[in-house]
Chain A
Amino acid sequence: MKAEYINAFYLATQDVFRLMLDLETTRLGMRVTEELVPFREANVVIGVTGDLSGSLLYSFSKQMALEMVRIMSGMEMKELDAFVTSAMGELANIISGNAMTRLFDSNYRCEIVPPQIMIGGGQALSMATPQAIVLQLGTSIGSFEVSVSLKTR
């Protein structure tokens, strides 16, 4: 997997967080993992097909997910209910769509499949690549991870 894909995901996340949540994101680090494991309580998995195929995993703490939905709705959220997880899924969908547009500009034509929500840490997901790249990002309301496991056709 080429590291050049990663910047598209960083820029897309930064863009959507700024537009929809009025939050700035900073890059905390990047690591390589051999397992795609939902590490936090609120996880969104999005499949990618096309010139690049595989999976994306967005992992947020419960507290951060509730705060993100509070920012959008203006209402206090207490539980990771269907309203909260649906909004989080859509947010990850919008970020991924934005990243696909950026990849298209680099001549990769890809599409995403609808998000799947996973609550609570769980079993490792199947990976398209031997290793995934985990992008660690920080905001004023907490940090989160975007993991990318994509292979070229």
Chain B
Amino acid sequence: MMWKEKYRVGADLIDTQHKELFHRVSNFIQTVQSPQPWEAKVEKVKETMAFMQDYVVVHFNDEERFQEKIGYPELERHRDIHARFREGVQGYVDRAAKEGFTEELIQEFGGKLMAWLIMHVAAEDQKIGAFLRSQGRQP
């Protein structure tokens, strides 16, 4: 899973955080899908999930602050999308705490997380870049 040039929004902080998210989610998926026995990798999976949970919050907060700063007209809608993404991640964190970190549950989470992240960065966040361009704030 790779960050692509076409995902560039044109704001350094956001682009750097997106690259980090792609890098982390990619590592997470590689761990989840690697052929080792589940018991051998479950600790790493737990660590990565805890990191993702925190990092998603940091990134979304930074992105919302940036949108406020530039007067982004779709801020409220974007906040709702962030809230749903966070709820989605939290839902799996809660299920894992209750049902245990089973391979099937974490694979399911990995598949969703990958699709959410690509959709978010490739579609929703591109609207921020388009707005910046329309304001003449980036080349």
Contact: B110 with A94, CB < 8 Å?
no
Contact: B111 with A86, CB < 8 Å?
yes
Known interface pairs A72-B1, A73-B29, A91-B115. Does A86 touch B122 (Cβ–Cβ under 8 Å)? no
Which partner residue on chain A sits nearest B6 by CB separation? A22
Complex Cα distance A62/B109, Å?
20
Q: Which of B103, B107, B118, B123 makes the CB contact (< 8 A) with A86?
A: B107
Contact: A19 with B119, CB < 8 Å?
yes
Contact: B1 with A74, CB < 8 Å?
yes
Interface residues of A in 64-121 (CB under 8 A from B): 69, 72-75, 77, 81-91, 94
Contact: B114 with A87, CB < 8 Å?
yes
Candidate in B107, B110, B111 with the most chain A CB atoms within 10 angstroms: B111
Q: A20-B119, A72-B118, A86-B107 are in contact. List 18 more A-B contacts (CB 8 A).
A: A16-B119, A19-B122, A72-B114, A72-B115, A73-B114, A74-B26, A75-B1, A75-B29, A75-B30, A82-B104, A82-B108, A83-B33, A85-B108, A85-B111, A86-B109, A87-B111, A88-B111, A94-B115
Instruction: List 9 interface pairs A-B (beta carbons < 8 Å), by A numbering.
Output: A73-B114, A74-B1, A75-B30, A82-B103, A82-B111, A83-B29, A83-B108, A86-B108, A89-B112
Contact: A75 with B33, CB < 8 Å?
yes
Candidate in A81, A89, A90 with the most chain B CB atoms within 10 angstroms: A90
| A interface residues, Cβ below 8 angstroms from B | 16, 19-20, 69, 72-75, 77, 81-91, 94
Interface residues of B in 99-129 (CB under 8 A from A): 103-105, 107-112, 114-116, 118-119, 122-123
Complex Cα distance A77/B35, Å?
12
Q: How many residues of B contact A (CB 8 A)?
A: 23
Candidate in A19, A89, A91 with the most chain B CB atoms within 10 angstroms: A19
Candidate in B2, B115, B118 with the most chain A CB atoms within 10 angstroms: B115
Q: Which of B26, B104, B112, B123 makes the CB contact (< 8 A) with A87?
A: B112
